[in-house]
Amino acid sequence: MKLALDRRDATVGSIDAAVSGVFQRGEKDEPLPRTLQKENAVSGGLVGGAWDRREIRGRRKEITVVHRPDGKGRIVLVGLGARSEATAETVRRAAAEVVKALRGKGARTIGFRLASFVGERVAPDAAAESLYEGAALGGYEFLRYKTTTDGGVEEATVFLGEEHSRDEAALRRRMDRAATLTETIAWTRDIANLPADTASPQRLAEEALRLGKEVGLKVQVFDEKKLAELKCGGILAVGGGSVSHPPRMVVLEYSGAGRSGKTVAVVGKGITFDSGGISIKPAAAMAEMKFDKSGAVAVLGILRAAALLKVAPRVIGIMACAENVPSGTAYRPGDVVRAYSGQTMEILNTDAEGRVVLSDALGYAVDKYHPDELIDLATLTGAQVVALGDDTGGLVSNDDKLADGILEASRRTGEPFWRMPLTDYHRELVKSDVADVRNHTELTVAGMLTASAFLETFVGKTAWAHLDIAGASYTTPSTRKWQPAYQNIGATAFGVRTIATYLESR
Ligand code: BES
Ligand code: MN
Ligand code: ZN
């Protein structure tokens, strides 16, 4: 989506839809808010009439459309709920709802009247940024395999009007940032949405190489021969079942704009398809497992954002990519596999494959780069979805400062994360009789946390945060309606905005 800034009023008549926010009104009859006066004038009093009839109440998700009698587009009013409660996230969602409501209705350009979205807890710059984010993310569609489309909003403009035209320079900076981030999210979703026949480990590696050329990153691709040399037993075991799509590990490096010399490593689970392997999954929702690469694709998005936003720390991205399918060459329950670190894993369920590929990537990150901080993103467990639902990511960390920093960034982006405990109880559960750790426990409790205890084995003393994004990394038609309007059906690129924002803060 094209994003623009305009010093004039949204009612100038040059756009298909002029959008204003409306805060929730009380029971008493209040006069039409000041921020709707111009809208009322160009509508020939229609907006005021709707207000007087209490058709406009300002409740969240409420959308009112009025056509201008002069034929110069429509006036759209979107409810924001109580003024005292509205946050940047409220504005982000409202912008997305408007874009969704206008889709397929011939509105190509929309403009937001900034002043009407500013509230007690939403400053003008935050409102402008959120309007862009919501509009661009909500307008995203995965069109690669569609031969027809209804057509939606193509350009969103934030109109400053006389209230905010003085703030133009500061606002433009925030909006440029929002444009970079949302464009990166669309790019990330486009890759994460590719089905497994196309998005093979090799294809993900090629995307990384292309990205490296585009934004200036050093990129290395390790094929199965190189992985064998490196003794990455985990990735080779999981990837061993696939005849057509061999595994890859990809390492990307952004050198950092600051002088701090700090290094943050970001590791992602890249299972291009998770059938479960020999411990095969039931057929019902197996198609969703094309999204099991979301962690690794998020790493691509994070590196892209880091480079374009020129964040201070050096950022290392590592993608652990493999296809988990059953065959005569697949790894099996009972196997013992040695990870890059030298530690061994007893495989008791081939469907607990994410932790197995991550063992190599985490060990490699620690050994080669000695990062100050290590963050991994993975669609790791169904237990995460059971515990937190499909809007909230699980956060497990051995470092309070790192965890708090990520939670702080998460509050800014509106991508919810919730920290969960990791204790000796979970560590005990993953001890193996024959190897250092086992990938499945006989007592199937706290699945998100036993998986975390397994991962912890490979990070040593490094400050580490694990983000289990199983639920929020994609939406389906059945989960879609509970999600914010800016998350479309399919890949959401969950975690990219939060970690990019976190890196900016470092
Ligand atoms: N990729 C799945 C986890 C998952 C489930 C992601 C639902 C997204 C939505 C993972 O590899 C898996 O299969 N986990 C198993 C682990 C179990 C066998 C210990 C699970 O959660 O059931
Ligand atoms: Mn699995
Ligand atoms: Zn998986």
CA distance 81 to 117: 11
The whole-angstrom separation of Cα 376 and Cα 390 is 18
Looking at the structure, give the CATH architecture of the domain made up of residues 188-505.
3-Layer(aba) Sandwich (3.40)
If one residue of 294, 345, 351, 474 were mutated to test the ligand 1 pocket, choosing by the most ligand atoms within 8 A of its CB, it would be 351
According to DSSP, the residues that pair with 431 across neighbouring strands are 437
- Measured distance CA(376)–CA(383) in Å, rounded: 17
190-215 exposure pattern, b = at least 16 Cβ within 10 A, e = fewer: bbbbbebeebbbbbbbebbbebbeeb
DSSP letter at 165 equals G
pLDDT digits 0-9 by tens, 143-164: 999 999 999 999 999 999 999 9
Q: Which of 293, 355, 438, 497 is catalytic?
A: 355
pLDDT at res. 4: 97
Range 392-403 average pLDDT: 98
Provide the pLDDT for residue 298: 99
Q: What is the pTM of this model?
A: 0.98
Do the domains spanning 2-166 and 188-505 agree at the CATH topology level? no
| Range 343-364 average pLDDT | 99
For 219-258, what is each residue's pLDDT tens digit? 999 999 999 999 999 999 999 999 999 999 999 999 999 8
**Ligand 2 centroid, distance to 456 Cα (angstroms):** 19
How close are the terminal C-alpha atoms of the chain, in Å? Answer: 29
pLDDT at residue 204 above 90?
Answer: yes
Would the CB of 440 count as within 6 Å of ligand 1? yes
Token pair recorded at residue 261: 């010399």
Give me the DSSP letters along 332-366.
-TT-EEE-TTS-EEE-S-TT--HHHHHHHHHHHHH
- What average pLDDT does the chain have? 97
Model pLDDT, residue 128: 97
pLDDT range class, residue 262, cuts 50, 70, 90:
very high
Domains of the chain, residue spans: 2-166, 188-505
Dump pLDDT digits (tens) for 427-473.
999 999 999 999 999 999 999 999 999 999 999 999 999 999 999 99
Query: Using an 8 Å Cβ cutoff, are 365 and 376 in contact?
Result: no
CA-nearest residue, atom 14 of ligand 1: 381
pLDDT tens-digit readout, 15-72: 999 999 999 999 888 999 999 999 999 999 999 999 999 999 999 999 999 999 999 9
For ligand 1, whether the C-beta of 449 sits within 6 Å is no
- 480 exposed, middle or buried (CB, 10 Å; 0-12, 13-18, 19+)? middle
pLDDT above 90: residue 401 = yes
pLDDT given at position 12 = 95
Of the residues 172, 262, 281, 427, only one is catalytic, namely 281
Confidence at residue 366, expressed as pLDDT on a 0 to 100 scale:
98
pLDDT > 90? residue 481: no
Is 383 a residue whose pLDDT tops 90? yes
Q: Are 105 and 84 in contact (CB under 8 A)?
A: no
User: Is 276's pLDDT higher than 90?
Assistant: yes
Residue 214: is its pLDDT beyond 90?
A: yes
The ligand 1 atom nearest the CA atom of 383: 21
When pLDDT is averaged across residues 103-132 and rounded to a whole number, the result is 97
Question: Is the confidence at residue 261, as pLDDT, over 90?
Answer: no
The yes-or-no verdict on residue 127 having pLDDT over 90 is yes
Report the pLDDT value the prediction gives residue 260, as an integer from 0 to 100: 80
> pLDDT digit string (tens) for 167-189?
999 999 999 999 999 999 999 99
Q: What's the pLDDT score for residue 443? A: 92
Q: Which pair of tokens denotes residue 26? A: 């009380």
Whether residue 379 has its Cβ less than 6 Å from ligand 1: yes
The CATH topology of domain 2-166 is: Leucine Aminopeptidase, subunit E; domain 1 (3.40.220)
Bridge partners (DSSP) listed for residue 65: 76
For strands 248-254 and 463-468, give the pairing.
unpaired
Q: How far is the CA of 469 from the centre of ligand 3 (A)?
A: 11
| pLDDT (0 to 100) of residue 480 | 84
The reported pLDDT for the residue numbered 155 is 98
Question: Is residue 478 over pLDDT 90?
Answer: no
